[in-house]
Chains A and B, each alone.
Chain A
Amino acid sequence: MNGMRMIFQREINAYIRSSVGYIVAATVLMLDGLLFYTQALGPDAEARVSGQVLAIFFYTASGLTVIASLVLSVRLIAEERQLGTQILLNTSPVRDWEIVLGKFLAALVFISGITLSTLYMPLMILVNGKVSIAQILVGYSGLILLGAAVLAIGVFATSLTRSQLVATAVGAGITAVMFLFWPLSAAIDPPMSRVLSALALHGRHFSGFQQGLLHTRDVFYYLAVTYFFLLLAVKVLEAKRWE
């Protein structure tokens, strides 16, 4: 656990010190603000109830969370390999799961920080409309769970290679395929449609959070995706260490 804590602290410091962290945070916050203004408060805003405005906010924020999570995660292990610092971790008494979990948790804390920085927008809806605090909390839970799942996909992708470009391509590819399960499920017949909709990263599982509805099924799905890809990342690291 000590190794995981040290890696977590190092990664958090690396985000704070690097320009990448600030660029990602600034871009996400700027785009969230712009999209909130144009989509949620746009020309048709008067026709919407405040619950719909909040749902649109969480929908646009989810897209940005996914992109930011990918950008932040693909460097995590590939960069260590590029700089040669992976050897320090490999030859220290630190287990592979501690490396993966330390890095993942640091990225999750950072992405959660960025996500929660948009809180002023739902609070504006809360003050001026008729939404509950619970709806906002559920929406943010969904964003963080979705972010965690995409971060885990990114960590798995970055564990495969020393190239951040390749890791980005692999991570984006897996995420895109898992997003496409949802529209695909509408286009094909059961039982495959049910399987695809159950596996889709967005759509079925995020729509509840977006509406302020908390389903344990959706929470379990995102936790399962996160666990699955983190486990794969640990296995890849073990295999690479001993290849």
Chain B
Amino acid sequence: MIQLNEVTKYFGEKRALGPVSFEITSGGAVGFLGLNGAGKTTLLRILATDLRSSTGEVTIGGIDVAANPHEVRKQIGYLPEAPPLYRDMTVGEYLKFAGQIKGLDRDKVDNRVCEVEEYTQLVPVHGELTRNLSHGYRQRVGIAQAIIHRPKLLILDEPTKGLDPVQVLELRGLIMRLKEEHTILVSSHILTEISQTCDQILVLNAGELIASGSEGDISENLSGAYRIMLGIRITPDSRTEDLVLYIQGLPDITSVEITQQDDRLLMLSVKSTTDCRGRLTRSLVKSGHDVVRLELEVSELESLFVELIGHKVK
């Protein structure tokens, strides 16, 4: 669906992005995560054909963006950070204008406006001037204009910015529904936003792509290890040191650390180069131990993000 090859963007002498290369397949939601100034908006504007990259190649749906932006624009819907609303138009008029300017037929546009208004819950404000809308409704109108022509690719730049918690939840639900019909790119510096709505994450820092993959992939790549929380039932006379040494001796295990211990339970944090939960359980059961807890620990995105940025700063 999207391919970027060594893409950079300079504003004068200042490098705002790149070089970045990645590929995104059709379907699902991809999150662009990064601090303010990381290059997220620049990257999305390049993908939305609002900016041209300084170097490199961008193709969307197999079409070269630089060579044929007009064709690419038919396939994309874009919601910038501030929804591009004409303040002197009502919601209905604005969506009709947006639909027609994006190529919808005149006789079909009215029906489509009704559809997207229902989909984005804008029916109650159909006749309201956009300048009188609340921030939440403006964001919805922004999304409605982005999807009105049924684009294959939907690009949402910080869609939840400035919304209250209830509006954030509603918009998150809307994005989850949109995932079923569109490939969605979402940018945010709010980590939970990305982790809850996106299947794939690309982390940007200072214009560079520093990590990509699922939350689990990033965790794995970052630490180079799986962390397994292991709970074993013990008795007061159990020899925990021997047990720790036994686990350390098992294949792929790199370290074992006691995190909690009482008369009945020993909690261990086990690091391994592979996901060896099955083998570990079998070995412990064979050696006569009761495994009462076994959990592959995925680091929270927030801590991963801080760790990634920290690595980069170092």
Residues of A bordering B, CB below 8 Å: 2-3, 6-7, 10, 13-14, 17-18, 83-95, 241-243
Given A17-B88, A92-B101; A84-B82 close (CB under 8 Å): yes
Interface CB pairs A-B, < 8 A, 25: A2-B100, A2-B101, A6-B101, A7-B101, A10-B97, A14-B86, A14-B88, A17-B88, A18-B88, A83-B85, A85-B85, A87-B78, A88-B84, A89-B101, A90-B49, A90-B50, A91-B48, A91-B78, A92-B73, A92-B102, A93-B71, A93-B103, A94-B101, A95-B70, A243-B52
Interfacial chain A residues near B102, Cβ < 8 Å: 92-93
User: How many positions in chain B have a CB within 8 Å of any CB in the partner chain?
Assistant: 26
Q: Tell me whether A91 and B76 are in contact in the complex, defined as CB-CB below 8 angstroms, given that A6-B97, A84-B84, A242-B51 are known contacts.
A: yes
**Bound form: Cα–Cα A87–B87 in Å:** 15
Q: How far is the CB of B64 from chain A (nearest CB, A)?
A: 14
B84 touching A2 by the CB < 8 A rule? no
| Cα separation A83 to B85 with both chains bound (whole Å) | 8
Q: Given A88-B98, A91-B76, A95-B70, are A10 and B86 also a contact pair (CB < 8 Å)?
A: yes
B52 CB contacts on chain A under 8 angstroms:
241-243
Complex Cα–Cα for A87 and B86 (A):
12
Contact B80 A2 (CB under 8 A): no
Task: Kindly report which residue of chain A lies nearest to residue B99, judged by CB atoms.
Answer: A6
Q: Could you tell me if B86 and A85 are in contact, using CB atoms closer than 8 angstroms?
A: yes
A92 to B103, CA, bound (A): 9
Residues from chain A with Cβ under 8 Å of B88 in the complex: 13-14, 17-18
B74 touches A (CB below 8 Å)? yes
Docked Cα-Cα span, A84 to B70, in Å, equals 20
B145 within 8 A of A: yes
Give the docked Cα–Cα distance between A86 and B84 (Å). Answer: 8
Question: Do A91 and B98 touch (CB < 8 A)?
Answer: no
Which residues on A sit within 8 Å (CB–CB) of B71?
93
Interface centre among A6, A83, A92 (most CB of B within 10 A): A92
Shortest beta-carbon distance, B101 to chain A, in Å? 5
With A and B bound together, what is the CA distance between A17 and B87 in angstroms? 11
**B73 and chain A: residue at smallest CB distance:** A93
Known: A85-B86, A241-B50; 9 extra A-B contacts, CB below 8 A, are A2-B100, A6-B97, A14-B86, A88-B98, A90-B50, A91-B48, A91-B76, A94-B101, A95-B70
Question: With the chains together, A56 CA to B256 CA distance in Å?
Answer: 99
- Cα of A212 to Cα of B188 in the assembled complex, Å: 64
Whole-angstrom distance from the CB of B190 to the nearest CB of chain A?
22
Distance A84 CA – B87 CA, assembled complex (angstroms):
11
* B74 cross-chain contacts in A, Cβ below 8 A: 93
Task: Give the nearest-CB partner of B146 in chain A.
Answer: A91
| Contacting residues, chain B, for A18 (C-beta < 8 A) | 88
In the complex, the answer to whether B86 meets A91 with C-beta atoms within 8 Å is: no
Which of A17, A88, A90, A243 gathers the greatest number of chain B CB atoms within 10 Å?
A88
Most buried by A among B52, B74, B80, B102: B102
Using CB atoms, name the residue of chain B closest to A94: B101
Q: Is the CB of B50 within 8 A of A91?
A: yes
Please determine whether B101 and A88 come into contact, CB atoms closer than 8 angstroms: yes
Q: In the assembled complex, how far is the CB of residue B23 from the closest CB belonging to chain A, in whole angstroms?
A: 22
How far does the alpha carbon of A227 sit from the alpha carbon of B145 in the complex, in Å?
33
Task: Please measure, in the bound complex, the distance between the C-alpha atom of A92 and the C-alpha atom of B97, giving whole angstroms.
Answer: 11
A102 to B284, CA, bound (A): 76
Residues of the B chain whose Cβ atoms lie less than 8 Å from the Cβ of A93? 70-71, 73-74, 102-103
Interface string of B37-57 (1 = CB under 8 A from A): 000000000001111100000
Closest chain-B Cβ to A3's Cβ sits at a distance in Å of 6
Chain A residues within an 8 Å CB radius of B73: 91-93
Assembled-state Cα–Cα distance A122/B101 (Å): 41
Measured between C-beta atoms, what is the minimum distance from A80 to chain B in Å?
9
Please report the C-alpha to C-alpha distance between residue A58 and residue B204 in the assembled complex, in whole angstroms.
62
